[in-house]
Structure 1
Amino acid sequence: MIPDKAFEIFLVTVPGLEPALCAEVRLKGFKQPKAIPGGVVLKGGWPEVWRANLWVRGAGRVLARLDQFPVVHLAHLDSRARAIPWASVLRPDVPFRVEASCSKSRIYHSDAAAERIVTAIRETLGAPHAADAAVLVRARIDHDICTISVDTSGEPLYKRGYKRAVNPAPMRETMASLFLQECGYTGQEPLLDPMCGAGTFVIEAAEIAARLNPGRARHFAFEQLATFDAAAWQAMRAVKSSRTPAAGCHGSDRDGGAIEMSRANAERAGVAGITTFREASIAELNPPAGPPGLVIVNPPYGTRLGEKDTLGPLYQSLGQTLLRRFAGWRVGLIASDPALAQATGLPFLPGGLPVPHGGLRISLYRTAKLG
């Protein structure tokens, strides 16, 4: 990699959501993004890396690809790793670590591969190796092709920097944002989550409506790289893109503790003024004042034995309430069991592919405007 030339940047997402992430990346002005298995690849320089971390809501992390080459034995990997100009990317005074994965390749021992790269970096650059280092070099050997990248994000990007309180099995912010996008949400209409939990969907929607950058409240691993320009980064972060939302974002939940969590998280995210949360059951659900918008809901999945039988009435009640009281609204419902989704009686459009989440496969079920 030559520091001032364009290189490949890989934005990671959940398998099945690559087209949604690609659409977002294109909408954010990145040039010629391409969806590939596991994420989106584009070409750019370090400013594009910083911008992707700061701007893109749906990416789990951003990898800068340093080199790619065929490799069939560890000695070959060692020589190629030593040829990478590490000093142009890593700092000799900042600790690093290496993770490797091997698939369908003659090099099959990932720990041995990682050790060779660690030694190459240590002996050519002089940087210290540490198991808990924030700077991570990733090596992926697949079908005898080795791709070496540096993880520019550090902590996963779903960690926006505001959520200290979470409920069990929370929806990650990155996935929530892509589901909102797939529902056609742009921030120009009201939004309601009637089972809001820790407020993830409501807060993501409010940030979209207010046009707040998802990475505005956190740090990134690229700040510890040799390529980092603190003044340029501060100038990028200082650009004000916020707007006054056209409509509010609302959450309700029958659990008072969840409402307290949501309010605290919204306060830390800086969107308390454009979100409302109230304790309410599905039977008490009514549309907020104003024009119709989007209902987004992530009900319990029923993963334990017998739970699905007890959840059927909940899904049925939710569907009946929405059909009776929410004319003109669209609905996005996340479910792991098609039978539970259909128990709502809602007129779902043809669905997308299931995606992995917490050891399950979940799908987004969408409606057009309810009659």
Structure 2
Amino acid sequence: MTNTSDFEIFLAAAPGLEPVLCAEVGSKGFKQPKPVPGGVVTRGGWPEVWRANLWVRGAGRVLARIDSFRAVHLAQLDDRARRVPWSSVLRPDTPFRVEASCSGSRIYHSGAAAQRIETAIRETLGAPLSEEAEVTVMVRIENDLCTVSVDTSGEPLHKRGYKEAINAAPIRETMASLFLRQCGFDGSEPVLDPMCGSGTFIIEAAEIAARLNPGRARHFAFEKLASFDAEAWERMRAVKSMRVPAARFYGSDRDAGAIAMSRANAERAGVAEYTEFRQATISEAQPPAGPPGLVIVNPPYGSRIGDKGKLSPLYRALGQVLTSRFTGWRVGLVANEPKLAHATGLPFLSPGAPVPHGGLRVSLFRTGPLP
């Protein structure tokens, strides 16, 4: 990449959610985003990379594609790796590490490929190699084409920087934001989660409504790159987009610990004044006063044999409460078993693509406004 002002930027998404992430990236003004397997590609320079990390809710990480070339054997890889303009991206005083993957290529040993790249960087730039380095160079050799990227995010982007407390099997913030988008949520209506756990859906909805940047409270790996401009970054971060939401956001859970966790997380995220959390069972769920909105819920899944039978009554009870009390509300339900989702008796539209989540595959089941 000789041109540092325009290169390919890859935003990772859970497989199945690429079109949803693409819609978000397009809505935030990035150039001609295109869904590809595992994410979305767009083009831009380093400011666009920073902006993607700061603004985009649904991306798991942001990679800057710094070079690509053909390589059919290790000596060729070694030679080409020494011609990559490392000094325009990496700093000689900053540790780095390399992750490589190979598929359908004559170079098939990812460890050997990683080693060649490491040596090339060490010998041409002088930067130290470290297994613990935050700066990761990612090398993918696919059908003899080698693509070299730098992970500009560091810690995965679902780590927004406010959540100290999480409960078992939480949904990632990145996935929660894309599911909210799939349900048609744009920040203008109330959202209720009757099994809110550590509050992910409710906090994410409140942040979207308040126009808070998801990356506002954290550090990124790009701050350690040669291309980083601290003053320009501070100016970008200082732009205030915040507004007071028109709606409120409600979470309930039967577990007192989950409610305490949700409140603490909402406080740290800066959205406590737009959210309400209370301890309540499913049968106690009530729509708040005012216009209808969206009920979104991630109930327990049956991951072990025999769980399905035990969980059916819970899903049935949830369906009965929503059908009898939540007229005019839409529902989004995350489930790994169509059978369990349909036990609610809710009039679902055709479900979204299954998405990997915590070793399972889950789908989002959605309804229109309930009659």
Q: Which moved more, 1:352-361 or 1:326-335?
A: 352-361
Q: 2-side partners of 1:321 and 1:169: how far apart?
A: 24
Q: 2-side partners of 1:197 and 1:357: how far apart?
A: 16
The alpha-carbon deviation at position 169 of structure 1 amounts to: 1.2
The question of 1:343 aligning with 2:343 is answered yes
Residue in 1 that maps onto 2:292 = 292
TM-score scaled to structure 1, two decimals? 0.99
Q: 2-side partners of 1:268 and 1:82: how far apart?
A: 45
Equivalence map 1:89-168=2 (5 Å): 89-168=89-168
Q: Are 1:121 and 1:127, in contact at CA under 8 Å, matched by a contact in 2?
A: yes
Equivalence map 1:69-88=2 (5 Å): 69-88=69-88
Residue in 2 that maps onto 1:57 = 57
Q: 2-side partners of 1:296 and 1:233: how far apart?
A: 35
Q: Are 2:152 and 2:220, in contact at CA under 8 Å, matched by a contact in 1?
A: yes
Residue in 1 that maps onto 2:226 = 226
Equivalence map 1:1-371=2 (5 Å): 1-2=1-2, 4-371=4-371
The alpha-carbon deviation at position 2 of structure 1 amounts to: 2.8
Q: Are 1:333 and 1:365, in contact at CA under 8 Å, matched by a contact in 2?
A: yes
Kindly report structure 1 stretches of 4+ aligned residues shifted beyond 4 Å. none
The alpha-carbon deviation at position 302 of structure 1 amounts to: 1.1
Q: Are 1:152 and 1:220, in contact at CA under 8 Å, matched by a contact in 2?
A: yes
Q: Secondary structure at the match of 1:8?
A: strand
Q: Are 1:189 and 1:293, in contact at CA under 8 Å, matched by a contact in 2?
A: yes
The alpha-carbon deviation at position 204 of structure 1 amounts to: 0.3
Q: Secondary structure at the match of 1:32?
A: strand
Q: Secondary structure at the match of 1:217?
A: coil
Q: Are 1:3 and 1:227, in contact at CA under 8 Å, matched by a contact in 2?
A: no
Q: Are 2:193 and 2:250, in contact at CA under 8 Å, matched by a contact in 1?
A: yes
Amino acid corresponding to residue 12 of structure 1 in structure 2:
A
Alpha-carbon deviations, 1:179-236, whole Å to 9, x = none?
A: 0000000110000000000000000000001000000000000000000000000000
Q: 2-side partners of 1:166 and 1:229: how far apart?
A: 34
Q: 1-side partners of 2:131 and 2:312: how far apart?
A: 47
Q: Are 2:5 and 2:46, in contact at CA under 8 Å, matched by a contact in 1?
A: no
Amino acid corresponding to residue 66 of structure 2 in structure 1:
L
Percent identity, aligned pairs only, is: 73
Amino acid corresponding to residue 24 of structure 2 in structure 1:
E
Q: 1-side partners of 2:269 and 2:5: how far apart?
A: 36
Q: Are 1:3 and 1:89, in contact at CA under 8 Å, matched by a contact in 2?
A: no
Q: 1-side partners of 2:259 and 2:335: how far apart?
A: 22
Amino acid corresponding to residue 276 of structure 1 in structure 2:
E
The alpha-carbon deviation at position 288 of structure 1 amounts to: 1.1
Distance verdict in 2 for CA 1:4–1:101, change over 3 Å: closer
Q: 1-side partners of 2:4 and 2:332: how far apart?
A: 43
Q: Are 2:32 and 2:43, in contact at CA under 8 Å, matched by a contact in 1?
A: yes
Q: 2-side partners of 1:112 and 1:358: how far apart?
A: 30
The alpha-carbon deviation at position 3 of structure 1 amounts to: 5.1
Q: Are 1:349 and 1:366, in contact at CA under 8 Å, matched by a contact in 2?
A: yes
Q: 2-side partners of 1:60 and 1:250: how far apart?
A: 26
TM-score scaled to structure 2, two decimals? 0.99
The number of equivalent residue pairs is 371
The alpha-carbon deviation at position 149 of structure 1 amounts to: 0.2
Backbone CA RMSD of aligned residues: 0.7
Q: Are 1:17 and 1:178, in contact at CA under 8 Å, matched by a contact in 2?
A: yes
Q: 1-side partners of 2:5 and 2:176: how far apart?
A: 34
Alpha-carbon deviations, 1:232-291, whole Å to 9, x = none?
A: 000000000011101001100001110011011111111111111000001101001211
Q: Secondary structure at the match of 1:252?
A: strand
The alpha-carbon deviation at position 305 of structure 1 amounts to: 2.0
Q: Are 1:323 and 1:346, in contact at CA under 8 Å, matched by a contact in 2?
A: yes
Q: Are 1:210 and 1:244, in contact at CA under 8 Å, matched by a contact in 2?
A: yes
Q: Secondary structure at the match of 2:265?
A: helix
The alpha-carbon deviation at position 5 of structure 1 amounts to: 2.6
The alpha-carbon deviation at position 4 of structure 1 amounts to: 3.7
Q: Secondary structure at the match of 2:252?
A: strand
Amino acid corresponding to residue 64 of structure 2 in structure 1:
A
Unaligned runs of 5+ in 1: none
Amino acid corresponding to residue 323 of structure 1 in structure 2:
T
Alpha-carbon deviations, 1:70-111, whole Å to 9, x = none?
A: 111111110110000100110000000000011111111111
Q: 2-side partners of 1:12 and 1:303: how far apart?
A: 26
The alpha-carbon deviation at position 144 of structure 1 amounts to: 1.1
Q: Are 1:3 and 1:88, in contact at CA under 8 Å, matched by a contact in 2?
A: no
Amino acid corresponding to residue 170 of structure 1 in structure 2:
P
